[in-house]
Structure 1
Amino acid sequence: MSEAVCSLLKKILLPDTEAVKQGTNELTALLKQDNGVSELCQVLGNSSLEPGLRQCAATMLRRYLMVNKNWKKLLPETLQELKNGLVNILGSETDGSVRTAIAMLMGLITRNTEWPELMQLFFTLGASEDLAQKQLCLYVLSVVSGEGTLSLLAHCSPLLQLLDKCLLDPTLPSVSLGHAIVTVARLSELISSQHASQFQGIVHNIITVSQRLLAEDEQPVWETIELLEVLIENEIPVLAADLPNTVQFIISLSVNKDLTDGLRIKAITFLGLVTRCKKKYLVKHKLTSPIVLSLFSILCEEVPDDHPLGILMADNPEVAFNSTGEDEVIHSAAQSLDQCARHLAPDRLLQPLIPAVEQALQSQDFNKLVRDCALLALSQFAEFLQPDISKHHNELLPLTLNHLAEVCNRSQNGCPDPPGATRLFYAVEVFCENMEQQDLLPHVEPLLQHVMAILQVERTSPYMKKNAISVLGSMALSVKEHMAVHFEKVVALLKIYLLGESQGDSTPLQLQSLETLAQLTRSLGTQHIQPYANDIIELAMVLLQRSKAKDDPELRKTCYRLFSALASVLHEKLTPHLPPLVESIQASLQSKQGVVPVLKNDSNEAVLQRLGELEYSEGEEEEDLDVAGYSVENIFLEEKEDTCVALRELAESCGEGFVPFIPRIAQDVFDLVAYPNEDVRQAALVTMTHFVIALSKRTSDEGVKCFDDWTARVMSKLSEVILNDEYSVVTSALEGYSELLGGVGERLLQQPQHLPSILASVTNVFTCKTKCQRAGDDDDDDDASMDEAEMDEMLVEYAGDVLDPLGKVLGPARFSQHFPAIVQLFAKRLRPSSSECVRSYVVGKLAECVEILGPHCAPFIHVLMPIFVAGARDLSSGEVRGNGIYGLGLLGLHGGEMVLPHLPGVLMCLSEVMAVEKEAQASDNICGALARIIAAHGRSVPIPTVLPAVLNCLPLREDFEENTTVFSTFSALYQQREPTVLLHLPMVLRAAAIVYTTPQADAACQSVIEDLVRRVKADSPDQLTAMIAAVPEPELRQRLEAAANSAPPPDGGAPQQ
């Protein structure tokens, strides 16, 4: 044994960075020598040395061999010596840390080479009657399987047999059984259909063992849930047969208050996961109700604090940071209920939930948390189960109003902040925001009465008043102009807080009142807000000056929101008041407030990062050597973001009145596109695109020059951002292209570099050449990779959406010149592994492109036809089928003579799909496609066969926009005196009556139907009378008579078809 090796290991263990670095380098050099590995093995096997040295020897040897080039240089005889030495050492090693290091080294070796001797050792130890040897086997297996799972694939079946036998051994301690469960979980990553039956049996035994061990040790149960998480997401249905027992076991864990919070949270989270991954199995085995009710019961558990959970906790870092274990259990239950709301059909969720919520809301003991949690559940489901949950508003809202009345009574009786009030207001607010207007209107009067009564109680706490004022804003956003009759009395209450003097900065009550006033202003609209406009403007100006005098960024940014709301309803009438507003806005844009230098030795970096974003400078302040970077407090970040948003709204709404201010402030906004915070960059970029759109309206020489200059700069910046910035900013840049094309039109492309720039940006996103798409390529985190893949697809959709306005600006002929490259970009995304979302988007977007191309789509029929046919035959998605069918119809309409050879195949495809189609959208698209093909190629289509098929699709069930297409075709065929339509004219008229004067027929469709019925009346009045009389429904007869007696267009011409 070399004393030098021990000396180096001791040096590595010293608490001295330089000594560790030097020792590591010297030991690495030693290991590169022929006998280096052998000498380290001698240290590892010398039991007389202290455990720390031996553990270090194993760890350093593993680190050395993890480098691929070092492993490849290892001589076969040295490797064999190492294997033999490790096997010998393992059996005699008594120190746990050393044994773990040895097992990890063994795992590394199995990952790189076959080691049959080790496998045999496992089977020998596992079959031994010696309990200690069995324990050693299971422990080392759990470590080795974590290091090199794939290397165990060839031995999977015998290992599972060994593990299953060990799990049934009653003499093994819980720790060893936990090791066995961990190994099974690791092996489950290798599962294939040939191992499915083995896994089913062993999983059943694992759950049985977990139930037995629960009272003495939770760790094996934790490992069991980890195993179930792996299996539940596997395509092999291992848990299918035993799913009811598995779910019932997990439910029992989730509601067991005697267990640790960590294990309960693990179980609760699994219930959300199983709902997301196996909802069909849950429905089949009637497990949805037990899951929902168990989660709801957890929500109703009492905790010491009274703060909103679920969404609110996630949005409140301070509450989340200070939350207790009980909070986290309830928080996880709220998140799992959220999963249920997202993935279960509403009726499956509401059937068990509504009675439970009603019972909880009717509880007579106000201090019981069950009522508060019922309100929380109600608010969360109101967000995700519209419109289904609104059907229950007549039962649920009156109960909620009763609670508001009770809150008011308790405030009047000396309780300024009654327990549960926070959740109550949160539930009411979310429900208001998500209910349909007509459903909420009957409840506005009593709801407003209770909320205002709470505000009028002097003893009510400021926090509760703030929540009540927030509810008023949510009501206004929902019922809009119907809030006008209550405006004066609401504002009379708000004035108390709006103008109340405070010694320091603005109060939460004042800010919320200002926010609610902005929501009221925006919701009431121009007509209803006009009489109060001057008063609101005067108030806004007073508060803006106060924010300037007190240097209050919170008040400033809220004032900007009020001015944005005023702009949205007053438009150019706000122009006289813009100068002082723009002056304040420019100061906010230029402000450096809140920027705090961070010293290199600052130990509070984590705290600073919570305050804002820490951005490191790159030599801009070279003289300040102790400054590592700067943090910006959140309030000032928010002010800059809200300032940009306000400017965007002013540019959109104030028209010519705001344009003269743009040259003055545009540079300040443009500078923020390079700001460290991405939210500010995003807001600034969006604002700049709207500045360009506003500038395009000016026709003076100065205005044209200003527009050209800023267009060039903004277009260049958009291209740069798309290549180099974060996801959120890139999406805004792509949207910026779409906004500019739609708002500026052809003028945007007059400068020759702009069109290539747009096309290059779209291509870069489609081919994943942007920085944000490349950033995650080397990320080993599977969850992160999935998120990044979703964001990449989202970016592609934003890029594809640019093509619609681009095609309209270019026109069909010019767009067709670039379409070959575009169609190839889309076609490459239709891979066998493409998700339903991707397939639907690609097929749908190509169909939209055909609509833009019109007759110029003909040269691309050979490329597009197979894509649309494949989409129309997609058995897995009605949405994809609908888009494919829509594309076939457009090709039939615009393809001209070049589509004629394909028509028999298209009609056959549509006929086959129609025979089995159950999705309303796709069925309606078939009807529209056939109508388009008949309209364009009536002489080449067997109308006696096809027209009845169209009639059989009526009335349409979902895609009512196709009604115009269908009835336009009927009208055209009638004018041609086509025999089949004349034969089926009573059916045509009855189908027209079903949609006439209903929301299913827009103005164009109504006009087409009226024209058709008037023509029939003019040609054969008696026949029309007879056909109307034959319609059995009185309402439909009245509609046809109204259409027959309708006035023709003023010009006397036929409606546009």
Structure 2
Amino acid sequence: MEAALDEIIAGLMCTDTKRIHESTAALGKAFENPEALPVLCQMLVSNREAQARQLAVVLVNKRLLKLRNWQMVPPEHQEGIKACMLQALIREKEKGVKTAIAQVIGTLVRHEADKKDSWLAELLTFIFQRCSMADPKESELGSSIFATLTDSAPDQLVSQMSEICQLFSSVLNTAQANGDMATPTVANMMEGMCSLIPFIVGHTSAEQTVAKVVPLMVFALQAFVQKGVVAEFTTAFEIIDSLAEYVPKLLNNYIKLLVEFCLAALGNKQIDDQIRILVVTFVGRMIRVKKKAIVKQKLLEPILLVVFEMMCCEYDSEDEDDYFSGTSNTPMTAATQTLDVMALQMSPEKLIPPLLQILEPALHNPDPLRRRAAFMSMAIISEGCSEAIKRKYLEVMLNIIKGGIIDQDPSVRNAAFFALGQFSEFMQPEISKFAPQILPVLFEFLQQLVAELQRGQPEPTHMDRMFYALDVFCENLEEEIVPHLPVLMARLFECMDQQNSIHIRQLALSTISSVATASKANLVPYFNPIVDILKNYLVNDCAVELNELRIQSIDTLAAITRTVGKENFMHLVQDTMNYCTNMLEQGPDDPDLRRAIYSLIGALSVVITENMTSIFPKVIERLIQSVVSTEDTLLKVREDSPTGGLLTEIDLGDTDNEDDDDDDIGDYQVENDYVFEKEEAIMTLKEFAKNSSIAFAPYLTMVFEEVYKTIDHGQDVVRKAAIAALSAFVVTLHKLNDTDGVKRACTILIPKFVSLVKNDEEQGVVCQVLEELGDLFKDVGRAALPTPDLAESVIGCIKDVLLNNTACQFNEPSGGGDEEEADESEYDEALIESAGNLVAMIGHSLEPETYSLYFGRMYTFFLTKLEKAKKNDDPDQRSFIYGVLAECFQSLGLCVVTYFDSLCPVLLAGTTDSDAKSRQNSYFGLGELVYHAEEKSFDSFGVILQALSEAIAKEQNAPALDNICGAVSRLIITNHNMVPLDHVLPVFMSSLPLREDTEENDVVLKAFRMLYLNARPSIANHIEQMLSVLLHVLFKREFSDEEMAANMAAFVKEIRNDYPGHFNNVANSSPNL
């Protein structure tokens, strides 16, 4: 038998496929002999080569994974196998073999766990005795067995959690008493405990034991650092990381100790880079879960100082792209990622002032590394602190960045351009008003680039970042880009010269895409030259080096197709569609190319809308293939796999339909191009539903089912795409008048959305769900919530967000008073605001009486939050709360009378707020409250009119002034007899037309109409002013929809017939009319 098994193992280890299959078949027959397992065990403890011993034990484990196979082993063989495995684990020196043995023991522990004479107890006794021995070799052996056992069967040790934690404490205390904590025994014990930490929650005595030895863990880590043993430190450090992830409360008393240890390690440049990367990443995790404690214990500034110093390190210029993208694994890039976490998780009011104290001297330092790090810091915090920067620092920081892009050092220029690009992305729309200062600087660099290239000089190092800044800035300018188009397009056309490198042409095409997005139909004068350029690259076959340029050309054409206007693109539709279908059928198997083609097909649906009928059969099947494809995740074999990948081709038989928890399989490796292909495929289907609803109707059910399968995808970009697309499909059903279809879809979708809000760990995904739910309720109405339990579940998830009880919120006890409310990050607040907005939006899907019940349960939360916002002088929160309350009144309808007496004083107080947005929302809210409360509001007309009168006399903010006009209009509509028109109308009319918030034109028109029909004498002296306002709105197209435009035009004609003289006066006085 032994010789036969030797022959089988040799066959399995060879490279001959045929022999492997023959050996696999022979193995299946061998296992029919009950002696096979004992013989394999004896081979394990023989002096055979390590690979053969390792494969022998793996084959044993594969065979015994299934309980019934273990139960079929005779009892005497079972005892022999258990004894053999324990003996082998003690003797074995090879790590790979030892790990494989531990996995067999883990399997056997699971199978034996329910027996009274549990083998686990015997095994643990052995481990406990060895770990407690004074002989370091014996304690190292015991701790090594402990680590491998907990790795393979942690769940089976839960019943012994308290005893194991006591052992862990004892080992650490003994090591400290002996004066050496950097021992293999300590490292093994920390490694083993790391596997148990996810199971410790709820085991009170175990938690207390572990919490008490946190300082000893830190001392051990310090000892490993001093010894410079990277592997041991890495292994041991994982337990601290696990504590922060699973039971952060156990670290509560040691925040200062942990952070100071981390900062000392990070500040020592002699320490191995891998250790510093681990530690600075852990600091980011601590910021996420213990930010309030870190602020309270005054640890934020020391952290910022150390992180900034790490960002000032020397770096290899060849890795510069990795530096900006954060993809390389160096202490410097890890530090930038931790600063990013700080910006996303900390309150900007806490983070920005101490950071500026660091940046200011760095910006004037002669060392370019410090100047570069300062600009990188500004770039990194731009996302997480965007609102605070826009409110307080934007102009100052932009002036600093402008100085940086003309710095003498190329690395500093690069960082400054990167900062400008980041600001352009995250500071919208406020940054656009600085276009006259920023664009000329960028154009100058573009002109210099073209001149240098024409002289044959090499491409400057700042070129990529310069294009990035130009690209992002232009994309968001909208009509403000129009005056700059002649100069900009001339420069970009010069960059597209065939003599220039492929990379420069690719960058220029990307910028043309952004220009098209911003300028829309204003791009028409440049449309034909752009198309002529694109034709050079929109080919079926091209050289490998030109493929990226071809993909960018497709992306650029897609951007132009969406924005240039149907009438301007229609003549290219057929050729474009033919190219798309041809590339899908015959083009290369390239996920990025398919992504670009999908985007272009989606753009075509914008142009030809319902005429997509003939195209859908050619493309939808391929889109669905990309949606359901698993190519975006590839299984990886674990590097520490006990089989070394040996068994990937071996079928052991008798394991059908078995969940064998294959330990060879490690994580999933994400293939980004396939992820983006999947995302674009989903978004293209969404575009079809939106733009071609009738033509797309036959496919709706199928695509809904297939896209729904991706809603739990591991990548958040795919989840967000699925959420958006599924919502769009429901809206399309509504547009098709399929009410039953809407109800069926929502019965599936709403519970899933609620689950995502509660359980998804990405704030961006949760915000997307909340926003899509709001749009769904507004677009679909009551069909979105066909049953009461759906409404109740949505309200429940809103409350969970408002109370910080979701998976993506770290509900850290503040340990302080109300002032802790000000410690929320902008991302935290964005999440709360999304949930608050949904409180208003859900009213569109409920009867007023039902909605009133829910509103009554939640509005006091907003009033409490408003008081805190006043106390903390938080204008963003105040404006948000006034706005949410105001948006609720329409859905409440007459039920708003229940809350009138509570809310009217709140909104009146808001009209005197120091913040313009808060005042604007309060004016709007007052008007809405009166409009919907009707008679209930009559007693308050006087005080409300007085407040509006005082406000209109001194209000300087244009949107706020517009909303005063809107509020007055609503009072007139509600009861014009209670408005002193002789006093109100002169001021009201002189404040028109509206300046910015043109949505209020609807109620202004209604007020005009009300007065014209019911109080004609009072407006006799204002007819010409009224006409001017109406004609202005019509001429500027500042109306909400075509129905409103038709009503206004009819009203103007009526006035012309009734007052021809006044009409002629107005017409003659305005050359535009």
Q: TM-score normalised to the size of structure 1?
A: 0.63
SS of 1:903's equivalent in the other structure is helix
**Alignment partner of 1:563 is 2:601:** yes
**Alignment partner of 1:774 is 2:811:** no
1:828 counterpart letter in structure 2: F
Instruction: State the 1:959 CA deviation.
Output: 3.5
Structure 1, 844-853 or 252-261: larger mean CA deviation = 252-261
Alpha carbons of structure 1 residues 293 and 18: separation in structure 2 relative to 1, 3 Å: closer
For residues 94-105 of structure 1, what are the structure 2 equivalents within 5 Å?
none
SS of 1:828's equivalent in the other structure is helix
Looking at structure 2, the residues matched to 649 and 371 of structure 1 have their Cα atoms a distance apart, in angstroms, of 40
Aligned counterpart for 1:830 among listed residues 863, 873, 880:
863
1:425 counterpart letter in structure 2: F
SS of 2:459's equivalent in the other structure is coil
For residues 328-367 of structure 1, what are the structure 2 equivalents within 5 Å?
331-335=376-380, 343-344=388-389, 350=395, 354=399, 357=402, 361=406
Partner of 2:797: 765
Alpha carbons of structure 1 residues 868 and 484: separation in structure 2 relative to 1, 3 Å: same
2:467 counterpart letter in structure 1: F
**Alignment partner of 1:521 is 2:561:** yes
**Alignment partner of 1:277 is 2:349:** yes
Instruction: State the 1:477 CA deviation.
Output: 1.3
Looking at structure 2, the residues matched to 53 and 1045 of structure 1 have their Cα atoms a distance apart, in angstroms, of 86
SS of 2:615's equivalent in the other structure is helix
Looking at structure 2, the residues matched to 742 and 266 of structure 1 have their Cα atoms a distance apart, in angstroms, of 38
Looking at structure 1, the residues matched to 404 and 677 of structure 2 have their Cα atoms a distance apart, in angstroms, of 45
Query: Would you say the 8 A contact 1:871–1:880 is kept in 2?
Result: yes
**Alignment partner of 1:582 is 2:586:** no
Looking at structure 1, the residues matched to 348 and 809 of structure 2 have their Cα atoms a distance apart, in angstroms, of 27
Query: Would you say the 8 A contact 1:408–1:453 is kept in 2?
Result: yes
Looking at structure 1, the residues matched to 457 and 889 of structure 2 have their Cα atoms a distance apart, in angstroms, of 66
Query: Would you say the 8 A contact 2:312–2:332 is kept in 1?
Result: no
Alpha carbons of structure 1 residues 739 and 462: separation in structure 2 relative to 1, 3 Å: same
- Specify every segment of 5 or more residues in structure 2 that has no aligned partner in the other structure, as ranges: 1-128, 151-156, 227-248, 265-279, 285-289, 316-330, 644-655, 815-819
Looking at structure 2, the residues matched to 482 and 407 of structure 1 have their Cα atoms a distance apart, in angstroms, of 26
Partner of 2:572: 532
1:281-321 Cα distance to aligned partner (Å, 9 max, x none) = 99xxxx99x998766667x9768xxxxxxxxxxxxxxxxxx
Instruction: State the 1:405 CA deviation.
Output: 3.9
Report sequence identity in percent.
22
Instruction: State the 1:561 CA deviation.
Output: 0.8
Alpha carbons of structure 1 residues 357 and 14: separation in structure 2 relative to 1, 3 Å: same
Aligned counterpart for 1:422 among listed residues 454, 459, 464:
464
Looking at structure 2, the residues matched to 297 and 825 of structure 1 have their Cα atoms a distance apart, in angstroms, of 51
Instruction: State the 1:567 CA deviation.
Output: 0.8
Query: Would you say the 8 A contact 1:651–1:658 is kept in 2?
Result: yes
Alpha carbons of structure 1 residues 909 and 28: separation in structure 2 relative to 1, 3 Å: same
For residues 715-754 of structure 1, what are the structure 2 equivalents within 5 Å?
715-724=747-756, 725-726=759-760, 728-741=764-777, 748=783, 754=786
Aligned counterpart for 1:793 among listed residues 832, 841, 847:
832
Alpha carbons of structure 1 residues 966 and 463: separation in structure 2 relative to 1, 3 Å: closer
Alpha carbons of structure 1 residues 676 and 236: separation in structure 2 relative to 1, 3 Å: closer
Query: Would you say the 8 A contact 2:599–2:684 is kept in 1?
Result: yes
Partner of 1:806: 845
Looking at structure 2, the residues matched to 671 and 997 of structure 1 have their Cα atoms a distance apart, in angstroms, of 47
Looking at structure 2, the residues matched to 672 and 1042 of structure 1 have their Cα atoms a distance apart, in angstroms, of 61
Aligned counterpart for 1:816 among listed residues 849, 864, 874:
849
Partner of 1:17: 144
Aligned counterpart for 1:449 among listed residues 482, 486, 490:
490
1:16 counterpart letter in structure 2: S
Query: Would you say the 8 A contact 1:477–1:519 is kept in 2?
Result: yes
2:486 counterpart letter in structure 1: E
Query: Would you say the 8 A contact 2:998–2:1038 is kept in 1?
Result: yes
Looking at structure 2, the residues matched to 851 and 786 of structure 1 have their Cα atoms a distance apart, in angstroms, of 31
Alpha carbons of structure 1 residues 293 and 1010: separation in structure 2 relative to 1, 3 Å: farther
Partner of 2:320: none
Instruction: State the 1:429 CA deviation.
Output: 1.4
Instruction: State the 1:529 CA deviation.
Output: 0.5
Query: Would you say the 8 A contact 1:722–1:770 is kept in 2?
Result: no
Alpha carbons of structure 1 residues 543 and 864: separation in structure 2 relative to 1, 3 Å: same
For residues 53-92 of structure 1, what are the structure 2 equivalents within 5 Å?
none
Query: Would you say the 8 A contact 2:720–2:765 is kept in 1?
Result: yes
Query: Would you say the 8 A contact 1:723–1:770 is kept in 2?
Result: no
Looking at structure 2, the residues matched to 45 and 604 of structure 1 have their Cα atoms a distance apart, in angstroms, of 34
Alpha carbons of structure 1 residues 414 and 251: separation in structure 2 relative to 1, 3 Å: same
1:455 counterpart letter in structure 2: M
Aligned counterpart for 1:712 among listed residues 744, 751, 754:
744
Instruction: State the 1:530 CA deviation.
Output: 0.7
1:638-672 Cα distance to aligned partner (Å, 9 max, x none) = 22221111111112222322223335544333333
2:851 counterpart letter in structure 1: H
Looking at structure 2, the residues matched to 1038 and 237 of structure 1 have their Cα atoms a distance apart, in angstroms, of 72
1:158-194 Cα distance to aligned partner (Å, 9 max, x none) = xxxxxxxxxxxxxxxxxxxx99x979x99xxxxxxxx
Instruction: State the 1:598 CA deviation.
Output: 3.5
Looking at structure 1, the residues matched to 613 and 207 of structure 2 have their Cα atoms a distance apart, in angstroms, of 75
SS of 2:510's equivalent in the other structure is helix
2:697 counterpart letter in structure 1: V
Alpha carbons of structure 1 residues 379 and 604: separation in structure 2 relative to 1, 3 Å: farther
Partner of 1:625: 662
Query: Would you say the 8 A contact 2:879–2:918 is kept in 1?
Result: yes
For residues 159-308 of structure 1, what are the structure 2 equivalents within 5 Å?
276-277=348-349
Looking at structure 1, the residues matched to 140 and 164 of structure 2 have their Cα atoms a distance apart, in angstroms, of 17
Looking at structure 2, the residues matched to 543 and 877 of structure 1 have their Cα atoms a distance apart, in angstroms, of 55
Alpha carbons of structure 1 residues 663 and 348: separation in structure 2 relative to 1, 3 Å: closer
* Higher relative contact order, structure no. (Cα contacts within 8 Å, ≥ 6 residues apart): 2
1:752-802 Cα distance to aligned partner (Å, 9 max, x none) = x72425412321222218999432577659899857743641441453354
CA RMSD in angstroms comes to 6.6
Partner of 1:103: none
Alpha carbons of structure 1 residues 755 and 415: separation in structure 2 relative to 1, 3 Å: farther
Instruction: State the 1:571 CA deviation.
Output: 1.1
Aligned counterpart for 2:541 among listed residues 498, 501, 524:
501
Query: Would you say the 8 A contact 2:417–2:466 is kept in 1?
Result: yes
Looking at structure 2, the residues matched to 646 and 270 of structure 1 have their Cα atoms a distance apart, in angstroms, of 32
SS of 1:497's equivalent in the other structure is coil
Query: Would you say the 8 A contact 2:981–2:1018 is kept in 1?
Result: yes
SS of 1:673's equivalent in the other structure is coil
Query: Would you say the 8 A contact 1:416–1:461 is kept in 2?
Result: no
Looking at structure 2, the residues matched to 663 and 334 of structure 1 have their Cα atoms a distance apart, in angstroms, of 44
Alpha carbons of structure 1 residues 904 and 390: separation in structure 2 relative to 1, 3 Å: closer
Query: Would you say the 8 A contact 1:829–1:838 is kept in 2?
Result: no
**Alignment partner of 1:901 is 2:939:** yes
Aligned counterpart for 2:722 among listed residues 684, 693, 699:
684
SS of 1:417's equivalent in the other structure is coil
SS of 2:863's equivalent in the other structure is coil
Query: Would you say the 8 A contact 1:921–1:959 is kept in 2?
Result: yes
Looking at structure 1, the residues matched to 613 and 206 of structure 2 have their Cα atoms a distance apart, in angstroms, of 74
Partner of 2:91: none
Instruction: State the 1:534 CA deviation.
Output: 1.3
